[in-house]
Amino acid sequence: MDDRKTAEAIAAKIAEAGGRAYYVGGCVRDKLLKRPCKDLDIEVYGIPADALETLLSAFGNVLTVGKSFGIFKLEHSSLDIALPRTEEKTGEGHRAFLTSADPYLPPETASSRRDFTVNALMEDVLSGEIHDYHNGLKDLGKGVLRHVNDASFSEDPLRVLRAARFAAQLGFEVAEETRELCRKIDLTSLSRERVEGETEKALLSAEPDRYFEELRKMEQLKDYYAELGNGPFFSEKALALREEAKEPVLYMLGILCSGIAGKQRNTFLHRFLTKKYELKELKNWTYEDLPDKTALFEKLDQLTCPEDYVLVLCALYPEKEKEYRKLGDEWQIFLQQEHITGEDLFKLGYTPGKELGSLLKEIRKKEYTRSKEEILEELKK
């Protein structure tokens, strides 16, 4: 059964039991915007957690995310089912909240813990009726991200990055009053993983430049992205080529970094990147035009993701795209070829040892432009 059908069946049972089920959060927003959405978040009113769990178990295996918070997941589906809850700030940091679930909380109160008005919309699962307690529909129409609650918005610094990230994903603007609040929020308690998560989503979004632009307007580039110069960082060409990248995040990070000078580049990346593979690979990427084949092949030989690096060069030097693509293809052919090995050298009378290693390195470079036979012939002499 498709997940919305399952949700409707669940909602019918909930109604029979005297409760009410609503779609909440991103899935309501995305449906109204005619965008695809990954997860269906449902909030259930009027039924206590235990009774809800029993009711849900008729539809499949119920995974309890946090029983005290009243959050359930229906296995093998995209359904997240939760009780309405309130959050109370208990300390520093993004996670320092005391959450209490209460099935009898009024929807208006429950929805006011959400970050933006467009994320606070509710849709009755059975009737399709939209409940809009915070003028989310108006903001959705205008393409504006506006915070819901003056008093609590600043309690979670992740919301600053979320505002900028949603702006990039949806092509929205952050409301001036929300930017004003965001300017005063201290982001330093965020974990690298959180910043990384938002950065990745922004880099994969429709308008990645909006993320950095919004953060600049909020004066919030300082803690994690201080090295960035003035944008835009991504040309149309760069965004088009992203579609071809094997690792789009890596590719986009490469372009983002290309304007930052050597040493600073590493400092920059370490602030929000946790993935060792990406850090290592990006350390090896350089961004000057590499016009000759040997120079380019030598570089590609050090990389784990040479295909994306070639795409980065195409994005940075669009007038040379053809040339780079041709060299990139030649590189792939080169990799398939048979290469000269230690064995070949032994046959020619060379003896094992240190020098053989450096000789093989020399040979590898020659192989970029010359045939195996030709090089072996030369080595005989």
Least distance in Å: CB of 87 to ligand ATP?
A: 8
Report helix, strand or coil for 187.
coil
Contact predicate 158/190, CB 8 Å: yes
Contact predicate 7/77, CB 8 Å: no
Could you give the string, one character per residue 189-208, with x where binding to Mg ion holds by CB under 5 A and - elsewhere? Answer: --------------------
For residues 339 and 346, give the distance between their C-alpha atoms in angstroms, rounded to a whole number: 14
Segment interacting with ligand ATP (CB under 6 A) among 114-122, 202-210, 251-259, 364-372: 114-122
Tokens in use for 331?
């590189």
Least distance in Å: CB of 42 to ligand ATP?
A: 11
Number of residues engaging ligand ATP in binding (CB under 6 A): 10
For residues 25 and 119, give the distance between their C-alpha atoms in angstroms, rounded to a whole number: 5
- What's the sign of the alpha-carbon dihedral 352, 339, 376, 297? negative
The reply to whether 39 sits near Mg ion by the rule CB under 5 A is yes
Least distance in Å: CB of 39 to Mg ion?
A: 5
CA-based nearest residue to 285, from 268, 267, 305, 271: 305
85 interface partner picked from Mg ion, ligand ATP, none, CB below 5 to 8 A per type = none
The reply to whether 200 sits near ligand ATP by the rule CB under 6 A is no
| 81 or 158: CB nearest ligand ATP | 158
Enumerate residues 6+ apart whose C-beta is below 8 A from 354. Answer: none
Counted residue by residue, the chain has a size of 381
| 31 or 114: CB nearest ligand ATP | 114
79-82 and 40-45 beta bridge pairing: parallel
For residues 124 and 361, give the distance between their C-alpha atoms in angstroms, rounded to a whole number: 67
Least distance in Å: CB of 152 to ligand ATP?
A: 9
The reply to whether 119 sits near ligand ATP by the rule CB under 6 A is yes
| 28 or 175: CB nearest Mg ion | 28
| 118 or 305: CB nearest ligand ATP | 118
| 26 or 328: CB nearest ligand ATP | 26
Q: H/E element holding 66?
A: strand 62-66
| 120 or 311: CB nearest ligand ATP | 120
Site for ligand ATP in 140-199 (CB under 6 A): 156, 158-159
DSSP 297-352: HHHHTT-S-HHHHHHHHHHH-GGGHHHHHHHHHHHHHHHHS----HHHHHHTT---
| 37 or 376: CB nearest Mg ion | 37
Q: Spell out the long-range contacts of 286-290 with Cβ–Cβ below 8 A and sequence spacing 24 or more.
A: 287/254, 287/257, 287/258, 287/312, 287/313, 287/316, 289/313, 289/316, 289/317, 289/320
144 interface partner picked from ligand ATP, Mg ion, none, CB below 5 to 8 A per type = none
73 interface partner picked from ligand ATP, Mg ion, none, CB below 5 to 8 A per type = none
Least distance in Å: CB of 214 to Mg ion?
A: 20
Options 26, 157, 197, 306; binder of Mg ion; rule CB under 5 A? 26
For residues 333 and 325, give the distance between their C-alpha atoms in angstroms, rounded to a whole number: 13
Tokens in use for 366?
């020659």
How many other β-carbons are positioned within 10 Å of the β-carbon of residue 364? Answer: 15
Could you give the string, one character per residue 61-100, with x where binding to ligand ATP holds by CB under 6 A and - elsewhere? Answer: ----------------------------------------
Could you give the string, one character per residue 14-43, with x where binding to ligand ATP holds by CB under 6 A and - elsewhere? Answer: -----------xx--------------x--
Burial class (CB in 10 A: 0-12, 13-18, 19+), 48: middle
Number of residues engaging Mg ion in binding (CB under 5 A): 2
Could you give the string, one character per residue 317-356, with x where binding to Mg ion holds by CB under 5 A and - elsewhere? Answer: ----------------------------------------
| 166 or 324: CB nearest ligand ATP | 166
Site for ligand ATP in 311-330 (CB under 6 A): none
Contact residues: Mg ion, CB under 5 A: 26, 39
Contact residues: ligand ATP, CB under 6 A: 25-26, 41, 114-115, 119-120, 156, 158-159
